[in-house]
């Protein structure tokens, strides 16, 4: 019998899935440049990847996904590119019902939304309201999100409570601090994926990623697919997570 040269797909363990996956979707611009296309086409392709990857992650059974769609630093990009990204986001929210495809999913936005125009703000509120009582998977979309700003926001809330005598300094602990963040009530990410070969967190979920496994791929975001997601999950399942302790065996 001849052995197939085709690479064997590694089986992921559906009983040991990461609960929460964070994704830094990088490389849209390089994907476009390599094809001689404008950067906007890379973002357009990237937004299609968002839809397919979220659908596949839901099918696999990942309960929480957080995608980094626009950082507090992304405002430094040319106005034309920022406007295009905003139009893709607006399209996503406007068509969220269609993209969720009746999967009963919940959409939440994390980040400072106060700076957005009324169109985007009201669409965000509509989608959050519309999906709030659903019982499916939770998609956090990070827009105008920066982890340092989020941490400072938490520090300020706590300082105010101490100042107002609502809280004793001795009662401040990690659990309380977590409850001041956008991701309150959600488990920390077990796995963070970054595409395009860059290996850093870029101000994404810094507090929440204290014990996350980090997984990098050279693929640019528009080329990322279900096979890559399964590979990341497979690798995650084959790492030893000790959370600062020692192996039990």
For 212-229, give one letter per residue: b (16+ CB within 10 A) or e. Answer: bbbbbbebbbbbbeeebb
Q: Is 30 in the site for ligand FPP (CB under 6 A)?
A: yes
Q: Which is nearer to ligand FPP, 159 or 197 (CB)?
A: 197
Q: Which is nearer to ligand FPP, 32 or 232 (CB)?
A: 32
Q: Is 74 in the site for ligand FPP (CB under 6 A)?
A: yes
Smallest distance, ligand FPP to C-beta of residue 91, A: 7
Q: Which of 145, 29, 34, 25 is nearest to 81 (CA)?
A: 29
Q: Which is nearer to ligand FPP, 27 or 154 (CB)?
A: 27
Q: Give residues 210-239 in contact with ligand FPP (rule: CB under 6 A).
A: 221
Q: Is 88 in the site for ligand FPP (CB under 6 A)?
A: yes
Helix pair 39-60, 226-237: axis angle to 10 deg: 60
Q: In the numeric block, which tokens belong to residue 68?
A: 């980094």
Q: Is 89 in the site for ligand FPP (CB under 6 A)?
A: yes
- Give Cβ neighbours of residue 92 (< 8 Å, ≥ 6 apart): 47, 50, 99, 141
> At CA 192, angle to CA 184 and CA 124, rounded to 5?
50
Q: Is 107 in the site for ligand FPP (CB under 6 A)?
A: no
Stretch that binds ligand FPP, among 87-95, 102-110, 185-193, 235-243 (CB under 6 A): 87-95
Smallest distance, ligand FPP to C-beta of residue 221, A: 6
Stretch that binds ligand FPP, among 25-33, 152-160, 180-188, 240-248 (CB under 6 A): 25-33
Q: Give residues 46-65 in contact with ligand FPP (rule: CB under 6 A).
A: 46-47, 50
Stretch that binds ligand FPP, among 26-34, 149-157, 179-187, 201-209 (CB under 6 A): 26-34
Question: What is the distance between the alpha carbons of residues 195 and 212, in angstroms, rounded to a whole number?
Answer: 16
Cross-strand bridge partners of residue 5: none
Smallest distance, ligand FPP to C-beta of residue 229, A: 15
Question: What is the distance between the alpha carbons of residues 238 and 219, in angstroms, rounded to a whole number?
Answer: 21
CB 42 within 8 A of CB 222: yes
Q: Which is nearer to ligand FPP, 140 or 208 (CB)?
A: 140
- From the candidates 13, 58, 74, 220, give the one annotated as an active-site residue: 74
Q: Which residue has the tokens 């409570």?
A: 161
Q: Is 74 a catalytic site residue?
A: yes
Q: Is 164 a catalytic site residue?
A: no
Q: Which residue has the tokens 């601090």?
A: 177
The helix (run of H) or strand (run of E) holding residue 21 is: strand 20-24
Residues lying near ligand FPP in the complex (CB under 6 A) are found at 25-30, 43, 46-47, 50, 69, 74, 85, 88-89, 92, 141, 196, 221
Catalytic residues: 26, 74
């Amino acid at each position: 019998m001849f052995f197939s040269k085709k690479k064997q797909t590694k089986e992921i363990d559906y009983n040991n899935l990461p609960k929460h996956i964070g994704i830094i979707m990088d490389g849209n611009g390089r994907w476009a440049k390599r094809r001689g296309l404008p950067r906007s086409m890379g973002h357009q392709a990237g937004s299609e990847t968002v839809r397919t990857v979220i659908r596949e992650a839901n099918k696999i059974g990942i309960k929480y996904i957080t995608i980094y769609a626009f950082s507090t630093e992304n405002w430094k990009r040319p106005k034309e590119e920022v406007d295009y990204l905003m139009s893709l986001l607006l399209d996503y929210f406007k068509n969220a019902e269609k993209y969720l495809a009746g999967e009963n999913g919940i959409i939440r936005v994390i980040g400072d939304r106060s700076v957005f125009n009324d169109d985007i703000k009201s669409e965000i509120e509509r989608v959050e309201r519309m999906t709030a009582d659903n019982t499916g998977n939770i998609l956090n979309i990070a827009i105008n999100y920066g982890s340092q700003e989020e941490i400072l926001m938490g520090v300020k809330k706590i300082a105010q409570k101490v100042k107002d005598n609502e809280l004793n300094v001795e009662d401040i602990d990690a659990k309380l601090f977590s409850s001041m963040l956008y991701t309150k009530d959600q488990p920390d990410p077990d796995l963070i994926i970054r595409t395009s070969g860059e290996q850093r967190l870029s101000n994404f979920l810094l507090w929440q990623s204290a014990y996350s496994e980090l997984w990098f791929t050279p693929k640019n975001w528009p080329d990322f697919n279900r096979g890559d997601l399964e590979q990341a999950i497979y690798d995650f399942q084959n790492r030893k997570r000790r959370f600062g302790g020692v192996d039990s065996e």
